[in-house]
Amino acid sequence: MPPLLDVRNLMTYFFTAGGLVKAVRGVDFTIETGETLALVGESGCGKSMTALSLLRLVPEPGRIVEGQIFFAGNDLLHVPDEEMRRVRGNQIAMIFQEPMTALNPVLRIGEQIAEVLRLHKGQSPAEALETAADLLHQVGIPSPKQRIREYPHQLSGGMRQRVVIAMALACDPRLLIADEPTTALDVTIQAQIMDLLRRLKSEREMATLLITHDLGVVAENADRVAIMYNGLILEYAPVRDIFNDPRHPYTSGLLACIPKLGEKRRRLTTVNGQGAGGNSPLSFLDRCPPEFAPRQGNLPGLRETAPGHLVRRWED
Amino acid sequence: MEALLEVRDLSKAFRSGGGLPGAPQRRLQAVDRVSFTLFQGETLGLVGESGCGKSTAGRLILRLLEADGGQVLFRGRDLLKLSSRDMRPLRRDLQMIFQDPYSSLNPRMKIGDIVGEPLLIHGLAKRRELREDVTALLERVGLGAEHYDRYPHEFSGGQRQRVGIARALAVRPSLIIADEPVSALDLSIQAQVVNLLQDLQQEFGLTYLFIAHDLSVIEHISDRVAVMYLGRIVELAPAEALYHAPRHPYSEALLNAVPVPDPDRPRNRPFVKGEVPSAFDPPPGCHFHPRCPYAQDICGRERPAFVDQGNGHFAACHFSDQVGKFRTF
3-class DSSP string for chain B: CCEEEEEEEEEEEEEEECCCCCCCEEEEEEEEEEEEEEECCCEEEEECCCCCCHHHHHHHHCCCCCCCEEEEEECCEEHHHCCHHHHHHHHCCEEEECCCCCCCCCCCCCHHHHHHHHHHHCCCCCHHHHHHHHHHHHHHCCCCHHHCCCCHHHCCHHHHHHHHHHHHHCCCCCEEEEECCCCCCCHHHHHHHHHHHHHHHHHHCCEEEEEECCHHHHHHHCCEEEEEECCEEEEEEEHHHHHHCCCCHHHHHHHHHCCCCCCCCCCCCCCCCCCCCCCCCCCCCCCCHHHCCCCCHHHHCCCCCCEECCCCCEECCCCHHHCCCCCCC
Q: Over 60: is that where the pLDDT of B40 sits? A: yes
B195/A310 Cα distance (integer angstroms): 32
Q: Per-residue pLDDT averaged across A281-304, rounded?
A: 64
Query: pLDDT-derived band of residue A243, with 50, 70 and 90 as boundaries?
Result: very high
DSSP 8-state code for residue A106: T
Query: pLDDT-derived band of residue B51, with 50, 70 and 90 as boundaries?
Result: confident
Q: Output the pLDDT for position A316.
A: 47
The pLDDT tens digits of the residues spanning A24-67 come to 999 999 999 999 999 999 888 899 999 999 999 999 999 999 99
- Considering only CA atoms, which of B86, B187, B105, B208 is closest in space to residue B151? B105
- What ipTM describes this predicted complex? 0.84
Q: Over 90: is that where the pLDDT of A202 sits? A: no
Q: Which long-range contacts (CB under 8 A, 24 or more apart) does A149-155 make?
A: A149/A108, A149/A110, A150/A108, A150/A109, A151/A105, A151/A106, A151/A107, A151/A108, A151/A109, A152/A99, A152/A100, A152/A103, A152/A104, A152/A105, A152/A109, A153/A105, A155/A109
**Helix, strand, coil percentages in chain A from 3-state DSSP, rounded to 5:** 35, 25, 40
B319/A225 Cα distance (integer angstroms): 42
Query: pLDDT-derived band of residue A297, with 50, 70 and 90 as boundaries?
Result: low
Is residue B270 a contact partner of residue A195, using CB atoms and an 8 Å limit?
yes
- Considering only CA atoms, which of A232, A247, A228, A217 is closest in space to residue A36? A217
Cβ count within 10 A of residue B114:
21
Per cent of chain B over pLDDT 90 is 74
Is A220 part of the contact surface with chain B (CB cutoff 8 Å)? Answer: yes
Distance from CA of B239 to the nearest CA of A (A): 9
Q: Which amino acid is at B108?
A: R
Is A197 part of the contact surface with chain B (CB cutoff 8 Å)? Answer: no
Q: Give the chain A residue nearest B244 (alpha carbons).
A: A262
Residue A216 backbone phi and psi in degrees, to 5? -65, -45
Query: pLDDT-derived band of residue A92, with 50, 70 and 90 as boundaries?
Result: very high
A5/B226 Cα distance (integer angstroms): 47
Is residue B37 a contact partner of residue B5, using CB atoms and an 8 Å limit?
yes
- Considering only CA atoms, which of A63, A34, A52, A56 is closest in space to residue A211? A52
- Considering only CA atoms, which of B274, B273, B256 is closest in space to residue B265? B256
- Considering only CA atoms, which of A247, A253, A250, A254 is closest in space to residue A308? A247
Q: Per-residue pLDDT averaged across B99-124, rounded?
A: 91
Query: pLDDT-derived band of residue A282, with 50, 70 and 90 as boundaries?
Result: very low
Distance from CA of A254 to the nearest CA of B (A): 6
CB contact under 8 A, A274 and B192: yes
Is residue A232 a contact partner of residue A25, using CB atoms and an 8 Å limit?
yes
* Mean per-residue pLDDT of chain B: 92
CA A86 to chain centre: 20
Q: Over 60: is that where the pLDDT of A287 sits? A: no
Three-state DSSP at A151 gives coil
Q: Output the pLDDT for position A276.
A: 42
A285/A188 Cα distance (integer angstroms): 36
Q: Please report, for residues A133, A167, B229, the alpha-carbon distance to residue A146 in angstroms, rounded to integers and kept in the order given.
A: 9, 17, 29
Low-confidence winner among A136-140, B21-25, B160-164 (lowest mean pLDDT)? B21-25
A11/A27 Cα distance (integer angstroms): 7
Q: Output the pLDDT for position A52.
A: 95
Is residue A30 a contact partner of residue A6, using CB atoms and an 8 Å limit?
yes
Query: pLDDT-derived band of residue A281, with 50, 70 and 90 as boundaries?
Result: very low
Burial classification of residue B14, based on how many CB atoms lie within 10 Å of its CB (0-12 exposed, 13-18 middle, 19 or more buried): middle
Q: Which amino acid is at B31?
A: V
Residue from A36, A47, A186 to probe the interface with B (highest B Cβ count within 10 Å): A186
Q: Which residues of B touch A220 (CB under 8 A)?
A: 259-260, 263, 267-268
Q: Output the pLDDT for position B33.
A: 95
CB contact under 8 A, B240 and A188: no
B187/B163 Cα distance (integer angstroms): 19
Q: Which helix (H) or strand (E) holds A127?
A: helix A125-138
Q: Per-residue pLDDT averaged across A240-267, rounded?
A: 86
B57/B323 Cα distance (integer angstroms): 27
Distance from CA of A33 to the nearest CA of B (A): 21
* Mean per-residue pLDDT of chain A: 88
Is residue A58 a contact partner of residue A52, using CB atoms and an 8 Å limit?
yes
Q: Which residues of B touch A273 (CB under 8 A)?
A: 188
A161/A156 Cα distance (integer angstroms): 9
Q: Please report, for residues A3, A5, A208, A210, B119, the alpha-carbon distance to residue A33 in angstroms, rounded to integers and kept in the order given.
A: 7, 8, 9, 14, 61
Query: pLDDT-derived band of residue A271, with 50, 70 and 90 as boundaries?
Result: low
CA dihedral B268, B272, B50, A193 (to 10 degrees): 60
Q: Which long-range contacts (CB under 8 A, 24 or more apart) does A57-65 make?
A: A57/A88, A58/A12, A61/A14, A61/A15, A61/A16, A62/A12, A62/A13, A62/A14, A62/A15, A62/A23, A63/A12, A63/A13, A63/A14, A63/A15, A64/A10, A64/A11, A64/A12, A65/A11, A65/A12, A65/A13
Q: Output the pLDDT for position B270.
A: 66
Q: Over 70: is that where the pLDDT of A293 sits? A: no
Pairing of strands A309-312, A19-31: unpaired
Distance from CA of A315 to the nearest CA of B (A): 27
CA angle, residues B48, B50, B51, in degrees to nearest 5: 100
Q: Which residues of A touch B159 (CB under 8 A)?
A: 274-275, 277
Q: Which residues of A touch B260 (CB under 8 A)?
A: 216, 219-220, 260-261
- Considering only CA atoms, which of A116, A52, A112 is closest in space to residue A89? A116
The pLDDT tens digits of the residues spanning A203-216 come to 988 999 999 999 99
Q: Give the chain A residue nearest B267 (alpha carbons).
A: A220
Q: Which residues of A touch B163 (CB under 8 A)?
A: none
Q: Over 90: is that where the pLDDT of A70 sits? A: yes
Q: Give the chain A residue nearest B223 (alpha carbons).
A: A264
Dihedral sign from CA coordinates of B48, B51, B57, B63: positive
Question: Which residues are registered as beta bridge partners of A63?
Answer: A13
